[in-house]
């Protein structure tokens, strides 16, 4: 396989990853890293670096649109970004020191959890009537647009959400993914944000989180422009296509398909780690 063919197939795989990730809300990163390592035999740290670049590109465009439409809570996002940024730097520094099989096993476990989250998506949490003390002090309550007009909501559990976001940042820096599954727990379950607000605010934060950890990978030489470019372009195009298809797609069927694919990749990552495939 020559360079052009390799670039094309990497782009094509990234296109599919971005498309599926957009439809399920978990992002293409959960497919990109195992795809590059298992199918194209790319060193897992270079795969993570390329995935982080694609995360930065895809989240930035969508985030601007969500902020303009009034879904994202900027105060919540800016506050939680402190936790995710420090977590991302921590995760990236751990990643460059961990043995490759250990990274692969952790990635496999996270993939299994992501497959579960895709198959059993979070249900809308009932809004709370009282604002938490920290949220009140930081004035985090907000509104978001609905067909009936703007709907107000109150925020709780800021300390718990902040702690979970630090964990989400570590996973993002360590594995090169958006850590959407952990962020859903933090904002939906702990902070009781409406689903549309939590997902759009998470998207607003992902780019900053990925940029923080990408700096560590760039400094260590793990971001290859020749690999990152087709990955970024593929995931970006796939995400945009997924956004248009989402309204007409049979979401339950797609979630099932995505869950099966991700679970299979997870098992393959873990088995490959134990059989010595990631030892070099």
Mean pLDDT over 13-38 rounds to 79
Average pLDDT for residues 265-279, to the nearest whole number?
Answer: 84
Band (pLDDT 50/70/90 cuts) for residue 213 is confident
| pLDDT (mean) for 95-106 | 89
Higher-confidence position of 106 and 196: 106
What pLDDT does residue 8 have? 93
Question: 162 falls in which pLDDT band (50, 70, 90)?
Answer: very high
236/217 Cα distance (integer angstroms):
21
Q: From residue 80, give the alpha-carbon distance in Å to each of 74, 97, 131.
A: 10, 26, 17
- Supply the pLDDT for residue 263: 87
Residue 152, SS3 per DSSP: strand
243 vs 161, higher pLDDT: 161
| Among candidate residues 230, 204, 216, the one with its CA nearest the CA of residue 81 | 204
From 57-61, 70-74, 155-159, 228-232, the region with the lowest mean pLDDT: 57-61
CA nearest 141: which of 83, 63, 74, 186?
A: 74
211 close to 173: Cβ distance less than 8 angstroms: no
Please indicate whether residue 219 or residue 239 has the higher confidence score (pLDDT): 219
């Amino acid at each position: 396989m020559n360079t052009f063919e390799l670039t094309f197939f990497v782009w094509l795989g990234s296109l599919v990853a971005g498309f599926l990730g957009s439809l399920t809300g978990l992002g293409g990163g959960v497919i990109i890293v195992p795809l590059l390592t298992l199918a194209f035999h790319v060193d897992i740290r270079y795969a993570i670096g390329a995935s982080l670049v694609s995360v930065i590109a895809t989240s930035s465009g969508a985030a601007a649109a969500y902020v303009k439409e009034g879904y994202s809570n900027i105060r919540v996002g800016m506050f939680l970004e402190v936790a995710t940024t420090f977590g991302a730097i921590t995760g990236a520094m751990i990643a460059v020191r961990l043995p490759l099989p250990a990274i692969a096993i952790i990635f496999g476990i996270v993939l299994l959890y992501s497959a579960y989250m895709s198959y059993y998506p979070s249900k809308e949490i009932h809004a709370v009537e009282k604002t938490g003390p920290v949220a009140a002090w930081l004035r985090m309550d907000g509104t978001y647009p609905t067909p009936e007009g703007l709907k107000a909501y109150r925020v709780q559990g800021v300390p718990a959400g902040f702690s979970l976001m630090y964990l989400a940042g570590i996973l993002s820096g360590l594995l090169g993914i958006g850590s959407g599954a952990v962020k859903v727990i933090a904002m939906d379950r702990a902070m009781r944000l409406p689903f549309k607000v939590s997902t759009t605010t998470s998207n607003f934060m992902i780019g900053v989180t990925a940029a923080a950890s990408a700096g560590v990978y760039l400094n260590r030489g793990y971001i290859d422009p020749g690999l990152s470019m087709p990955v970024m372009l593929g995931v970006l195009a796939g995400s945009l296509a997924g956004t248009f298809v989402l309204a007409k797609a049979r979401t339950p069927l797609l979630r099932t398909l995505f869950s099966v694919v991700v679970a299979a990749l997870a098992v393959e990552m873990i088995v490959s780690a134990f059989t010595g495939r990631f030892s070099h």
